[in-house]
């Protein structure tokens, strides 16, 4: 005969160990990989992926969020076997996370400690793109995902606001932006600027530039001193002059039915532009 160890009690009130364990499991939030710092290889490239910025972080701007991110990064880099080659280049996938120069330098230092080199920063935040470019890293700015559905067919450059930079694009540095790039400074030989819209260089242009990278032949390239190694607008390509001219003046490069033409900015007329997206 079975007896109840709790006389005069309701059996439904007796604690059940298995039920408690199940309840505890249900109350424990599932940890998503998308919310963690990750390091992986993809298509032969080493990627450092940062989790996207949450609504709470954006609203509070709490310093603890960077501290937590930093701790995750240190643990990830120092835990487990190192599967990368020494001095391998890393591409930082920053998503929509806001990073300043100091934080980018901290990430670069942490990578350097494990024999990795921060080479390129991918971001959808203009502030992060400016910080990365100013620090001397290659930058590729992506438009926010939410803006893709709002893009107008008549305005293919509306995917992003212009990117304004005050710096020198040195050899080995590449700047990518889906809209127009306005640069107060020089583009040195070996430097590269790629824009979905126009490229305006308030300085010497001696590197590689590609305007209208998405196919917009109405994009232009304008600079105070035009000495590019290679110049591209949409699908059209031209090489820079082999010798420097004796006199410099502001010039603009644009597409004509005969290809890319370079002329004085003072004589430029938008009616000379041909085509659109090709």
The CATH number given to 156-278 is 2.160.20.70
Supply the pLDDT for residue 278: 59
Supply the pLDDT for residue 83: 83
Supply the pLDDT for residue 52: 84
Asked if 36 and 79 touch (Cβ cutoff 8 Å), the reply is no
**How many CB atoms sit inside 10 A of residue 141's CB?**
26
Q: What is the pLDDT of residues 177-230, one digit of tens each?
A: 999 999 999 999 999 999 999 999 999 999 999 999 999 999 999 999 999 999
77 Cβ neighbours under 8 A, 6+ residues apart: 39, 110, 111, 113, 114, 116
Q: What is the pLDDT of residues 125-142, one digit of tens each?
A: 999 999 999 999 999 998
Supply the pLDDT for residue 3: 41
Q: Name the token pair of 254.
A: 């644009």
Fold match, 33-55+62-142 / 156-278: no
CATH of 33-55+62-142, one of 1.10.287, 3.40.50, 3.30.750, 3.30.70: 3.30.750
For 245, the 3-state DSSP assignment is coil
Kindly list the domain boundaries of the chain, sorted by start residue.
33-55+62-142, 156-278
């Amino acid at each position: 005969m079975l007896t109840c160890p709790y006389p005069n009690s309701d059996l439904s009130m007796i604690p059940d160990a298995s039920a408690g364990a199940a309840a505890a499991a249900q109350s424990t939030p599932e940890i998503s990989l998308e919310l963690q710092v990750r390091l992986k290889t993809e298509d032969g490239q080493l990627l450092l992926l940062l989790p996207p910025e949450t609504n709470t972080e954006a609203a509070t701007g709490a310093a603890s969020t960077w501290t937590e991110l930093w701790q995750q990064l240190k643990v990830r880099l120092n835990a487990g076997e190192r599967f990368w080659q020494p001095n391998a280049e890393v591409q930082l996938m920053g998503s929509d996370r806001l990073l300043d120069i100091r934080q980018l330098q901290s990430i670069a230092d942490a990578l350097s400690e494990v024999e990795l080199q921060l080479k390129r920063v991918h971001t959808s935040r203009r502030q992060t793109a400016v910080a990365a470019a100013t620090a001397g890293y290659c930058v590729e700015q992506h438009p926010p995902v939410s803006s893709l559905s709002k893009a107008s067919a008549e305005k293919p450059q509306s995917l992003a606001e212009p990117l304004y930079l005050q710096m020198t694009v040195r050899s080995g540095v590449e700047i990518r932006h889906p809209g127009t790039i306005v640069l107060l400074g020089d583009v040195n030989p070996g430097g590269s600027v790629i824009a979905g819209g126009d490229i305006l260089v308030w300085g010497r242009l001696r590197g590689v530039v590609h305007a209208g990278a998405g196919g917009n032949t109405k994009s232009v390239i304008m600079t105070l001193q035009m000495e590019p190694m290679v110049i591209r607008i949409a699908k059209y390509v031209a090489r820079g002059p082999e010798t420097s001219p004796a006199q410099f003046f502001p010039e603009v490069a644009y597409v004509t039915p005969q290809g890319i033409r370079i002329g004085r900015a003072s004589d430029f007329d938008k009616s000379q532009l041909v085509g659109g997206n090709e």
